[in-house]
Structure 1
Amino acid sequence: MRIPADLLAQVVDHALRDAPDECCGVLALRNGEAVAVHELENVRRGPKKLGFEVDGPKLARLLDEIEDAGDELGVIYHSHTVSAPYPSQTDVNFAAGWPGVEWLIIGTKGAASAEQAEVRSYLIDGATVTEVPVETVA
């Protein structure tokens, strides 16, 4: 996945802003490059609530808007606030419903700034997790 540096900064800022809760959102792609960040509300927020969950009807409307714009859902992103940015078993289970979509995970554990956040992306196919490069472009 290719992503303009300003869009990646927006994703990382979202992760830091929502901490200690996990953030979540999607990236619209055109020709393999991110063209828009769509921040979503994590409805699973609060003390001792790990993970993320989005409002299904809102997500369905957003996916229609992305397709109507001629783009495609290419990346689901979220943050890990207490663990490394590697897909959890919950992530792997959830990914089964989204074949071919990349999973961008922003690690914010111990990060006080965007420079300290760790960003990694994966393709998840069943139990197979493959890291893919995040290529930033100007």
Structure 2
Amino acid sequence: MLLLKQDDYNVMLKHCIEELPNEACGLIAGTIQGDTKTVKKVYLLTNLDASKEHFSMDPKEQLAAMKDARANDLVLLGNFHSHPESPSRPSEEDKRLAYDSSSEYLILSLMDRANPVLKAFHIDKDKAVSINEIKVI
């Protein structure tokens, strides 16, 4: 299970809306206790592709986020990105680019702007996808 504070969800949602019509992206860091991952910090990154169909995170921003997470005794839990015009499910490109099977892959669909949908996914080394439970607290 992934626990996400309402304030952190709001930060992610705002970032994704502000980046429209393009995809937005970022990293999440926190703690792991047993099967529960708790998000403690959200890093908003730049989509260098500036595209509504795919994203590339800025490597300098990624490195800064990793350093900040380590400095705060947090572990990188995964990443998030938005789907401005499609459902909250990994695309073929998302699956192909999912290199870390221990990461959470969050996708925020803005297809229905009035009803955004955030889902967390596990993508294994064989690119099989399963949905992880996410609880906004």
TM-score, normalised via structure 2 length = 0.89
Q: Is the 8 A contact 1:66 1:73 kept in 2?
A: yes
Q: Give matches, 1:1-138, under 5 Å.
A: 1-31=2-32, 32-45=37-50, 49-96=52-99, 98-111=100-113, 113=114, 116-125=115-124, 126-137=126-137
Q: Is the 8 A contact 1:44 1:50 kept in 2?
A: no
% same residue: 21
Alpha-carbon distance in 1 for matches of 2:47, 2:39: 21
CA displacement at 1:78 relative to structure 2: 0.1
Count of residues in correspondence between the two structures? 131
Alpha-carbon distance in 2 for matches of 1:58, 1:90: 22
Alpha-carbon distance in 1 for matches of 2:65, 2:16: 20
- Residues 3-58 of structure 1: CA distance to partner in whole angstroms, max 9, x if unpaired? 11111111111111111100000111123211111000111115xx5211112233
Alpha-carbon distance in 2 for matches of 1:13, 1:57: 22
CA displacement at 1:63 relative to structure 2: 1.0
Structure with the larger helix share:
1
Give the SS at the match of 2:97.
helix
Worse-superposed segment, 26-35 or 56-65: 56-65
Alpha-carbon distance in 1 for matches of 2:24, 2:87: 15
Deviating above 3 A after TM superposition, structure 1's stretches of 4 or more consecutive aligned residues are none
CA displacement at 1:80 relative to structure 2: 0.5
CA displacement at 1:127 relative to structure 2: 1.8
5+ long unaligned stretches in structure 1: none
